[in-house]
Chain A
Amino acid sequence: MALYVEQVTKKFGDFTAVDNLSLSIEEGGMHGFLGANGAGKTTTFRMILGLLDPTQGTVRWKGKPITYASSPDIGYLPEERGLYPKMKVEDQLVYLAQLRKMSKTDAKRETAGWLERFEVPHYGQKKVEELSKGNQQKIQLIASLLHKPSLLILDEPFSGLDPVNVEMLKKAILDFQKQGATIVFSSHRMDHVEELCDDMSILDRGKVVVGGSIKEVKRSFGKQKVRLNVDADLSHLSALPGVENFTKTKEGALFQVTDEEVAQVLLAKAMELGTLRHFALEEPSLEEIFIAKVGKHHA
């Protein structure tokens, strides 16, 4: 495991921001952090980065704690965007990369490459405050990975972007992962995590309530949906064992079932009742899992 977070707890006075959190990410992996506001995502990131020391527990990157010596190896995009508003984009990116021990010439070359890639090559000589929010975000992302870190931490990288830019940034992040970087990122958007990540954790009030590979998480969630489009009343099927929920739809009905066996039973029963036009076994979305695990506290 490249990044290893072991039983980390962070307390601010009486308030426990992160509670006994454990996490491990393979080298080259992409890990998604989901959580409502105040769940402890940013605090966890700050502990990984070494900005805050855990009250208990340890964080290790390639077997060593993260210190300023590992600075060239780490990239960070904070949730609160931060750039010098009055500094030119190129100067700014070169300065920040230099702080991560990249040479000036390399930084300049890479900056030009990235601005080209994000289709804003002429922004190099503009001041940050002259750019739109979305374009500032592109610059912010470039700032986090210009120096080619092997661990990249992105706090809400896609918030406030239009769909076109989200796609552009997603692709850039995926490409960066292909070059061998380990990436941790947080989001409110389940679909982004679902699309990009192999592993994920859902944080709720400082605790990991769900964690692991996305496939496993979905399978172990124990709830699948069966969509049946039949021209008949299916309401009495909701009484079958293993059916947890029943919703009537325009075309038929949607059942929530505990496992695939129950789905097969439902299929057989429905075929007896009338002409079956559509049968689908649907995986739960992360959104549903999230709402099921976290939503009840916030409802």
Chain B
Amino acid sequence: MHSFWIIFKQAFMTKARTKSFIITTLVVVAAFFLLANISNIIAVFDGDETEENVLHVLEEAPGLVPDLQAQLEALDSGIQVVPTYLTEEELQESIAEGTIDDYLVLTQNEQLSARYVSESANEMGSGSEIEIAVQAIHTALTAESLGLDDNQVGQLFMPVEFERQAISESSKSQEELSQARGLVYVLIMLIYVAVIYYPNMIAMEVATEKSSRVMEILISSVSPVKHMFAKIAGIGSLGILQMMIFGLAGYFAIKTAGTDLTEGFFSVMGFSEVKISTFLFAILFFLLGYFLYAVLAALLGSLVSRTEDVQQLMLPMMVLIIIASLIAFSGISIPEARYVTISSFIPFFAPLVMFLRVGMLDLPLWEPLLSIAIMLVTIGILGWFGARVYRGGVLMYGSSQSLKDIRKAIRLGNSK
């Protein structure tokens, strides 16, 4: 056990101290903070030029500004209504100069009509809230002119009860689903990156030790199998640490940003009702996926003699991961599709796809457990098989780098 920890520590520390690791970690953390604060940052640069969220209203029929303001506040739009006494030409000039964003012309003849003017069509989006507000005023005015009392107006505006309900037991309610979707998407992304990044690290590490020929000293000191698993555990721990740093950084970045985004993001991502089980499953599937692919990567890394050949041999593994990710990402919108269900029990796809299903659907517990069991068995078989290949592979030097070498390696390892 002693030497296991020595290798574990060495794999962890040397990788943790590499410039690339530190820089990657810092860049991602910085990116989180940057993204979370992006609206603040834009505001700093934009702030001087235009008054934010001020709507200039040119009233041909005066007296509607307070109503409009009230309606916009009810919509929680944060738009400040300011009556203006400039002419249309002057207002258009102001838009062109960039001192104002937009203005609204209200006309009341038989009917209330409005014209929203902004610099480009891109900004029309903000017009929709104003349209709703104007519509509301119009309805109120019409109701008044028809002589309806407040009670009748209230009945008229009573929102219809519209509820979406799914009959399937495994299906989550629409609201839950859209909340889960964001979170699951982010977590699948993390698992996907992790099962590519860290196993690649292992394959490179093994190939480096082989190409620098230090491997022969190592495996004359400790058994190749111990060496392999200690290395996988070491880099795995490093991966967990890095993911934790990312997680905390992301959390604090959004928490401290202090913009409207915070609340919006947390509710969209489903963090507001943190599903502990989703996070636990994410960690579990991250670990299983990592181990599965790490063993495979160590096996492949042990076959090459030069680090340059690693990528070539890793290609089949990368294809597996990419297929898994395609199924998972396409399955986010249709988690109940048959191909998603089936592939969630295929060990190489399960880390992504079964996690997707667990996150999006209310599955009976036996399904994820079965999938986990299948993965554990596969890891066991692969570990046993990988150890045999590894044992021979690390002693094998030659020019040919193909999967055929697996047989050669086993033969060499067998005679061991």
User: A and B bound?
Assistant: yes
Decide yes or no whether A123 CB sits under 8 A from chain B. no
How would residues 198 to 228 of chain A score, 1 for a CB under 8 Å from any chain B CB and 0 otherwise? 0000000000000000000000000000000
Given the known inter-chain contacts A52-B416, A53-B415, A143-B217, please indicate yes or no for A99 contacting B212, CB distance below 8 A: no
Binding-face segment, A77-85, A188-196, A259-267, A288-296: A77-85
A87 nearest in chain B by CB position: B14
Residue interface mask B204-227, A partner, CB < 8 A = 1: 000011001111111111110010
A46 and B212: CB pair below 8 A?
Answer: no
Question: Which residues of chain A come closer than 8 Å to B217, judged between CB atoms?
Answer: 76, 78, 82, 96, 143-144
Contacting pair A83 B3 (CB below 8 A)? no
Interface mask (A238-250 → B, CB under 8 Å = 1, otherwise 0): 0000000000000
B213 touches A82 (CB 8 A): yes
Q: Which residues of B contact A143 (CB under 8 A)?
A: 217
Q: A68-B222, A78-B217, A143-B217 are in contact. Are A85 and B3 (CB under 8 A)?
A: no
**Residue of A87, A95, A144 ringed by the most chain B CB atoms within 10 A:** A95
Q: Which residues of B contact A117 (CB under 8 A)?
A: none
B219 near A51 with CB under 8 A, answer yes
A95: contacting residue among B10, B208, B215, B220, CB under 8 A: B10
Say yes or no for B195: interface residue by CB 8 A criterion: no
B148 lies within 8 A of chain A by Cβ: no
Bitwise, B1-42 to A at CB < 8 A (1) or not (0) is 011001100100010000000000000000000000000000
Answer whether residue A277 sits at the interface, using C-beta atoms and an 8 A cutoff.
Answer: no
- Map CB proximity to B onto A134-173 as digits: 1 under 8 Å, 0 otherwise: 0000000001100000000000000000000000000000
B223 touches A82 (CB 8 A): no
A83 to B209, CA, bound (A): 8
B215 and A96 contact, CB distance less than 8 A: no
Q: Restricting to B160-217, which residues have a CB under 8 Å from any CB of A?
A: 208-209, 212-217
Do A53 and B416 touch (CB < 8 A)?
yes
Question: Is the C-beta of B395 less than 8 angstroms from some C-beta in chain A?
Answer: yes
Q: Which residues of B contact A55 (CB under 8 A)?
A: 415
**B213–A81 touching, CB < 8 Å:** yes
**CA of A68 to CA of B215 in the docked complex: distance in angstroms?**
15
**CB–CB A83/B222 < 8 A:** no
Q: If A52-B415, A101-B2 touch, does A96 touch B221 (CB 8 Å cutoff)? A: yes
Given contacts A82-B212, A82-B213, are A51 and B415 in contact (CB under 8 A)? no
A286 CB within 8 Å of chain B: no
With A and B bound together, what is the CA distance between A81 and B212 in angstroms? 8
Cα–Cα distance between A82 and B216 once the two chains are bound (Å) = 7
Bound together, the chains give a CA A74 to CA B219 distance in angstroms of 12
Question: Which residues from B are CB-within-8-Å of A179?
Answer: none
Q: How far is the CA of A80 from the CA of B2 in the complex (A)?
A: 27
Q: Known contacts A81-B213, A82-B212; decide if A99 and B222 are in contact (CB<8 Å).
A: yes
Complex partner residue of B216 from A10, A78, A84, A95, CB under 8 angstroms: A78
Contact in complex: B213, A95 (CB < 8 Å): no
Closest 7 CB pairs of A and B: A82-B213, A82-B214, A99-B221, A80-B213, A78-B216, A76-B220, A98-B6
Q: Which residues of A contact B (CB under 8 A)?
A: 10, 12-13, 46, 49-53, 55, 68, 71, 74, 76, 78, 80-85, 87, 95-96, 98-101, 143-144
Q: List 10 A-B contacts (CB under 8 A).
A: A12-B412, A53-B416, A76-B220, A82-B212, A85-B212, A95-B6, A96-B217, A99-B221, A100-B221, A144-B217
